[in-house]
Amino acid sequence: MSRPAPGGPPQADHPNVSPAATGYSATEWDLITGLPGRVIAVATQPGPGRPYPGVAAGLAGLEAVAAGRAFDSDLVRAVVAAIYTRHEEATAPQPQPRPTDLVDVLAACRAVVRILDRRADRADSAAYRQWVQSVAARVCRAGSAVPPDGTLAPVDRRLLDRIGGALALR
């Protein structure tokens, strides 16, 4: 199991994962914990050559986020814990976020990579980036008419390639 770098995230079973407890600034932690949801949002948007992926795609994304609880990465588990804590603690209506734009999500991916390069250990950084990519991949597979050979529609493949590039996975 990977260990947090000095100033890195605490064990994810900590019930209240706050930015202060992770060693990240509130802005950095919000970016890190918000990226999986933003990736789901952009991967479920219809577009040219891509009809509305449907509810199944969004649910697949949520399942992929939840699967992070079993990752062998303290960072990924801390992010999932923070996402669930944030959701459980939300008592007041939340402001509606602006529509998610692919360009913004790719910029957020690159910003998270820079943050992780500075603050996280290599194993946690790689695990987080791969996990976010796996969230996008599960959404695309669930929302695309995947033929028996398992290939994705070209528009979904391009989306995953762009997200993978922005996450420095190539």
What is the per-residue pLDDT for 17?
57
Q: How far apart are CA 43 and CA 112, in angstroms?
A: 18
- Ranges of the chain with pLDDT below 50: 1-15, 96
Q: How far from each other are the two terminal CA atoms of the chain, in whole angstroms?
A: 24
Helices (H), 44-153: 55-67, 74-89, 102-119, 122-143
3-state secondary structure of 5: coil
Angle at the Cα of 143 from the Cα atoms of 137 and 149, rounded to 5 degrees: 70
Q: Which residue has the tokens 């943050």?
A: 115
Q: What is the CA radius of gyration of the chain?
A: 16
Residue 164, pLDDT score: 97
Check residue 18 and give its pLDDT. 59
The SS3 assignment for 39 reads helix
CB-based contact 93:167 (threshold 8 Å): no
pLDDT at 123: 95
Q: What is the SS3 assignment for 75? A: helix
Q: What is the pTM assigned to this prediction?
A: 0.81
